[in-house]
Structure 1
Amino acid sequence: MVTIAPSILSANLWEFGKQIEQMMTLGVDTFHIDVMDRHFVPNLGYSQEIVKVLKKNSTAICDVHLMVEHPEAMIMDFINAGADYLTIHAESTVHPYRALQMIQEQGVKVGLALNPGTSLASVKELLPLVDRLLIMTVNPGFGGQSFLESQLAKIAEAKALREEFGYTYDIEVDGGINDKTASSCIKAGAEVLVSGSYLFHHSNWQEALLQLQE
């Protein structure tokens, strides 16, 4: 079963709580939370406070994606806020192994994200630590971008490596996910689909969720 993780970057902040409740009523249990610092990516995103709000007021699984430079400085803030998955970018720190260990030592699920220009070969030493491998199918930083077809090969490669070496990560895809691109990602090996603009801007959320899963 494919997990759909709505990206709250596309939620309506005025009706945020109501929209989360509506999504959960439709069977959604995981929400993707983008944290951005205007340095690693050219945009600003959420702080740990949004995680605290979600954990206090719902049973949501918080899939936190740190698109920030020097993520080590924020890791404990988001763990203390209640992050269930904490994902850092391989490109965001000169010590990614140490950063992943920090997350693992706190009993939180370890996530590793790769930009479109980053190869799996360049992070092979990190993969044994990873619970969730996030393949970016757009350049990170903004919602509503077009899907990069070139990343399908990376998704398939991630699946093949997992089978070959016995890794335990699930494969997550983020960027340009809609009813047309979702099927290609699933066929390539994706198990978690992050969808923002397509899902939140759809006129019928139940229909949109079904289209992504199918």
Structure 2
Amino acid sequence: MQPTRDIPWHEGSWLNEPENVRIDGTDLLVTARDRSDFWRTTSYGFVRDDGHALLTEFPPGSATEVTFLADFTALYDQAGLLIRVDPRTWIKAGVEMSDGLPHVGAVVTHGVSDWSLAPVPDWHGRPVTIRASRTGDAVTIRARCEDGPWRLVRLAPLAPDATATAGPFCCSPERAGLQVRFTRRSQGPADPALHLPD
């Protein structure tokens, strides 16, 4: 496995081109299209697959990180990391506005979507990093704000032989004009264990 490296913004390909993309210094500014989202069926009854993600390979034994500013104002504004196998098999994890507060959470989709989240009001407007580590038949999702401690967000299944891609994503299910500032993405070796030492 190669050592951890930053992935330049010109690498990878867009799943669903955003409204606008531009480089600002070392950051990537992405403006989401109106009513963009990733979701399949559960509770809401619709299928949406028009969110935006800049994807590169996510092989077994690797970990991918994405850092962005969690500066959201409208219901369901969201950004983070998307892992994708196909339109029916994907994971998104990040920060999303819900009930007037930012929440850290994940949606795991195998045919239909689920959703888990927890409020993180003190993360508003601050840099957040989402990390996905792929080992065996699972992906371990962690998150942290600035240089704070990692917190476990989700342990989700992902077939060992699945060809997956991963990278930064954003969606704006309720409005136009959401702009997300991504500050870094990187890839390196997978975490050695589910529970990291203190």
Task: Please tell me the TM-score bracket, short chain as reference.
Answer: under 0.3
| Greater RCO structure (CA 8 Å; 6+ sep) | 2
Q: Compute the TM-score of the two structures, normalised by the length of structure 1.
A: 0.25
Normalized per residue, the structure richer in strand is 2
Q: Compute the TM-score of the two structures, normalised by the length of structure 2.
A: 0.27
Normalized per residue, the structure richer in helix is 1
